[in-house]
Amino acid sequence: DIQMTQSPSSVSASVGDRVTISCRASRDTSKYLNWYQQKPGKAPKLLIFAASSLQSGVPSRFSGRGSGTDFTLTISSLQPEDYATYYCQQSYITPPTFGGGTRVEI
């Protein structure tokens, strides 16, 4: 299985800050990398697919970059509704695997 490692595990930030989360795969996943946002008690929500494509309806302050083994999710200007846990997920090979999550908090 491909192991996905996210860093940091948590980050403290203020409204308006630029926040960047990293995700590293244990082997090459090309651009088969998705990002999800999960709020407490809720299901994950797809934000970014194929490393950099914005899912329909997701605000443009979210962006993704990377290929191979190293990927980033950036929130350009943090909004109050963005406080959540973010997960990366590779879909290069089965089983699809998720990172351990990064909590964005005040």
Partner 1 sequence: QVQLQESGPRVVKPSETLSLTCAVSGASVSSATHYWSWIRQPPGKGLEWIAYMSHSGSAKYNASLKSRVTISIDKSKNQFTLTFNSMTAADTAVYYCARVDGAHSGLGIKFDYWGQGTLVSVSS
Amino acid at 25: A
CB of 89 to partner 1, least distance (A): 8
Give the residue, chosen from 16, 42, 60, 80, that forms a contact with partner 1 under the rule CB under 8 A.
42
- Pick left, alpha or beta for residue 30 (phi over 0 → left; psi -120 to 50 → alpha; otherwise beta): left
Q: Is the N-terminal amide bond of 80 cis, ω within 30° of 0?
A: no
Determine if 10 is a binding residue for partner 1 (CB under 8 A): no
- Report the distance separating Cα 84 and Cα 27, nearest Å: 27
Q: Per-residue contact track with partner 1, 52 to 71, x per CB under 8 A? A: -x-x----------------
Please give the residue ranges that form the binding site for partner 1 (CB under 8 A): 31-34, 36, 42-46, 49-50, 53, 55, 87, 89-92, 94-101
